[in-house]
Structure 1
Amino acid sequence: MIRNISISAFINTIFILALIAVSITFAIFIKLDKQRYNITMQKKYELVAENILKSLEGKPNNAGIKFIVDQFKMVQLTEQEQKLRIINNGKTLILRDTLDGVYRIFILDDILYIYIQRDGYNLMIKDTQSYTHNLMIIALAIAISLGVLFSLYYILKRKLKPLRRLNKEIKKFSEGNFNVKIKFNSTDEIGTIAKTFDEALTHINNQRKSKDLFMRNMMHELKTPITKAMFIAETLEDEKKRDMLQKAFHRMDDIIKELAMVEKLTSSNTFVYKELTSFFKIYTRTLDIALLSPDKLTSKIKDFKLNADIAMFSVALKNLIDNAIKFSPNSHATLNADKHRIDIISEGEPLKESLEYYTEPFSQEEKRSDGFGLGLYIVKTIANLHGFKLVYNHNKGKNIFSILID
């Protein structure tokens, strides 16, 4: 689970947990501090109450009582209704019946009160000191802690921002945009990664351009002499030699065409021009470029509409049909097509390896000797560009290559 989470999500989770931990810690601290404060106040109020009871022995007047209360920095409550509300609604924390009199300590709305009774006197007093002062200090501590936490979060997210940009550029490159340029300003680890990746992109682009230039020049240089050689071969009187040379030159021409198609499909400028067309139109185009004899192919087609690049898809079908005829003992193939799939069927031994083995670009020599060079790679690539799938199976002595449309 943790391995699959993104760095950004991981950081967010850590800071959320840290925020929760800080909040719980301060909540517990406030509760404990309030309990400590109340205990301290209770002890203080007990001492004050006992001292006031002793001071009332002389039966002082109101001014004298006020003087006594002021000495302890407290406030006397004189309103009868307020006193009754505290007595009736307050919670009694301490009740002491001493020789000098009776005193009770109440708590109401988190405020402590002392109620003193002696010789006809009854005083309700409360301390001028409150817990608000402590709360302000705690609130300031909370604000500083949260400020530091959010500052760290902001700094860390800002530090990782170049990594997110780098990820976007890498994604663009993986999608075929070779013009990606990585900008880096920092000299930290992320800046070093960005610089290294930018250098790798430059190296890859240089190699790609070199490969494209080599492929185009090679095909151009080979095409002309092969065409000339084919014309010269036509003039030979020996039919056997003429047929042998023409077959060899046609094979070389096919290889160049396959290389040209591979170059086009792997180019960054590859564009699939899809249009809504009938399969029969694609099939007719395939027959035109394949130059097949009528006895070589049997077809059973339920015509249907599909979105496809007619030129590309015709090449894919032509390659499948060529392979089926070329490597079938009876040099014959069958094409079945409907709106769900296109099957190319021919007699023959099953493939020795899986289909993926034969659809790799630039097949090895041992694969080509079995008849699978660039043809199936081109078919698979074109199918994928259209959102279709190339599959293979062998059934009752027949090889079946299928393009699944849906």
Structure 2
Amino acid sequence: MKKHAVFLTVLFAYIVTIVSVSAVFWEFYKLNKHRYIDNIFSKHETITQIYREHQQKQTSNILLEANLAVYKFIVKKEKHQQLIVLKRAKVLKQKDFQRVDEAVMLNKKGLYTQKIVRDFRISMLEWHKKIYFYIKSPIGSVLIEDEALKPYSYFSLAYTYLTIVLIISISFLLILQRLRPLIRLRRKIARFGDGDLDISFKTSGSDEIALVSNELESTREKINTILESRTLFLRNIMHELKTPIAKGTIATQMLKTTKERDRFCSIFGRLESLVAEFALIEEVTSIANKDDFKECRLVDIVDGAIDMAMLDKSGISIEIDESAKLLVNYRLYTTAIKNMIDNGLKYSIDSHVKIISINNELCFESKGKCISEPLQYYIEPFTKNNPSKNSFGLGLYLVDSILKAHGKVLAHEYVNGQNRFIFAKDLSFKL
């Protein structure tokens, strides 16, 4: 979800806009239709007046039709057609009212005026795109068609609504089109972070995204230049160091006393080991891709580490699943295991290391005192807990660097008088 936050925000705004516009137009449609019906229903007053005079004066139906025809009203006289319209037509509006008629009557006392109250109902109907008025009274009923009126048409309103929706949709698509370079840029940055240092961020254009892309391209070129300079410097300095170390090692053989030869051989040997560890650190930190990673059996990796350390297996116990496999850089991973075996043998009180697998995590156990500092202290470069040991303090730092390149971290726990170092999975690591 977080990866597409901008897209989802724009999509949410688009949906909200469409829903809001639709709701407004729907309410406007209902209001406009209601007003239209009210306006045309006002014609019932004219129809009612003509029909009332027809009943009061008892005029002929021909005269009624003639009076209605003046206003383009047609009386529907066919009973069958009346029944169809009354049964199937949609009632748009109805109104009930009373009509008071006065009649002169004669009795023994003389003439008097009698008021007669009659209930009327007038209905406005719609059927087959025609408007009808139906008047029903106690003494009769009539169905009248209005030729001048047409049912309410929503086409103009629908055209306006669709036009606005189309404009909003086009705007949404244009925004997405403008966001596409940002999506491509994010993918390129991810590839650059994964080690593809040759990817280009350069793009044409003058908008904000293009400016950011071009600035990233400039930054990428500077980073590549720095990395190339760093790599060249480290390789040159290690190459230059190996020559005097080799010459010094040869020159020590010319010393007269054995004590002096052993001392200088130890010094040059330590310097050669330091250069070798620097080379490994440079190789680990410059891993750009996983092309060198291969699936290997864990037991083969451990055996390779023991062979690399040239150690006697009698001081090492192995309890791991022979079918377990790992996707690793074989040479680097065996180096990490070798360093952990060396570390366990140096600091254990019985010169014994046990290699076991717990919950699919490789563990190294050795008897001894618990480490006096937090683990983070020991994985810093050039940190030594015991200066008398023949070490530069790069062992655990190198192990930690190799594990991070494989999506793991170095962990420690002290259980039953044993130090347990664990190659634990890094939950934040992403391939």
Q: TM-score, normalised by structure 1?
A: 0.82
Note if contact 1:169-1:182 (Cα within 8 Å) is conserved in structure 2. Answer: yes
In the alignment, the residues of structure 2 paired with residue 200 and residue 275 of structure 1 have an alpha-carbon distance, to the nearest angstrom, of 36
In the alignment, the residues of structure 2 paired with residue 385 and residue 171 of structure 1 have an alpha-carbon distance, to the nearest angstrom, of 16
Note if contact 2:400-2:409 (Cα within 8 Å) is conserved in structure 1. Answer: yes
- Which residue, 145, 149, 152 being the options, matches 1:125? 145
Are residues 1:314 and 2:315 paired?
no
What residue in structure 2 maps to residue 240 of structure 1? Answer: 259
What residue in structure 2 maps to residue 342 of structure 1? Answer: 363
Are residues 1:175 and 2:194 paired?
yes
Note if contact 2:341-2:364 (Cα within 8 Å) is conserved in structure 1. Answer: no
Distance 1:60 1:399, change over 3 A: same
Shift of 1:298: 3.6
Note if contact 1:258-1:374 (Cα within 8 Å) is conserved in structure 2. Answer: yes
Give matches, 1:65-214, under 5 Å: 68-87=67-86, 91=91, 93-98=94-99, 104-108=121-125, 112-116=131-135, 122-133=142-153, 135-214=154-233
Distance 1:158 1:278, change over 3 A: closer
Shift of 1:294: 7.1
SS at match of 2:195: coil
- Which residue, 374, 381, 389 being the options, matches 1:353? 374
Note if contact 1:304-1:338 (Cα within 8 Å) is conserved in structure 2. Answer: no
Note if contact 1:324-1:344 (Cα within 8 Å) is conserved in structure 2. Answer: yes
Partner AA of 1:353 in structure 2? P
What residue in structure 2 maps to residue 12 of structure 1? Answer: 11
Partner AA of 1:94 in structure 2? K
SS at match of 1:6: helix
Distance 1:14 1:273, change over 3 A: closer
Structure 1 stretch displaced more, 370-379 or 211-220:
370-379
Are residues 1:228 and 2:228 paired?
no
In the alignment, the residues of structure 1 paired with residue 413 and residue 30 of structure 2 have an alpha-carbon distance, to the nearest angstrom, of 74
What residue in structure 2 maps to residue 287 of structure 1? Answer: 306
Are residues 1:299 and 2:327 paired?
no
Q: Structure 2 regions of 5+ residues with no counterpart?
A: 102-117, 427-431
Partner AA of 1:23 in structure 2? S
Distance 1:104 1:293, change over 3 A: closer
In the alignment, the residues of structure 2 paired with residue 5 and residue 405 of structure 1 have an alpha-carbon distance, to the nearest angstrom, of 28
Distance 1:102 1:303, change over 3 A: closer
RMSD across aligned positions (CA): 3.6
In the alignment, the residues of structure 2 paired with residue 122 and residue 285 of structure 1 have an alpha-carbon distance, to the nearest angstrom, of 107
In the alignment, the residues of structure 2 paired with residue 116 and residue 330 of structure 1 have an alpha-carbon distance, to the nearest angstrom, of 113
Shift of 1:302: 5.0
Note if contact 1:347-1:397 (Cα within 8 Å) is conserved in structure 2. Answer: yes
Shift of 1:239: 3.0
- Which residue, 255, 262, 265 being the options, matches 2:274? 255
Partner AA of 1:238 in structure 2? T
Note if contact 1:103-1:114 (Cα within 8 Å) is conserved in structure 2. Answer: no
Q: Which one has a bigger Cα radius of gyration?
A: 2
Shift of 1:168: 0.9
Structure 1 stretch displaced more, 364-373 or 317-326:
364-373
Distance 1:79 1:179, change over 3 A: farther
Shift of 1:229: 1.4
Structure 1 stretch displaced more, 10-19 or 24-33:
24-33
In the alignment, the residues of structure 2 paired with residue 382 and residue 145 of structure 1 have an alpha-carbon distance, to the nearest angstrom, of 59
Deviations 1:47-86 (A, max 9, x none): 3432465478694664x65554443244543442231244
Partner AA of 1:374 in structure 2? L
Shift of 1:139: 0.7
Note if contact 1:303-1:338 (Cα within 8 Å) is conserved in structure 2. Answer: yes
Distance 1:388 1:364, change over 3 A: closer
Shift of 1:146: 0.6
Q: TM-score, normalised by structure 2?
A: 0.78
SS at match of 1:15: helix
Note if contact 2:123-2:135 (Cα within 8 Å) is conserved in structure 1. Answer: no
Shift of 1:20: 1.2
Deviations 1:83-129 (A, max 9, x none): 12444566571244546898643244587532357998844223532
Structure 1 stretch displaced more, 26-35 or 47-56:
47-56
In the alignment, the residues of structure 2 paired with residue 258 and residue 194 of structure 1 have an alpha-carbon distance, to the nearest angstrom, of 38
SS at match of 1:272: coil
Size of the aligned set, in residue pairs, is 397
In the alignment, the residues of structure 2 paired with residue 348 and residue 147 of structure 1 have an alpha-carbon distance, to the nearest angstrom, of 75
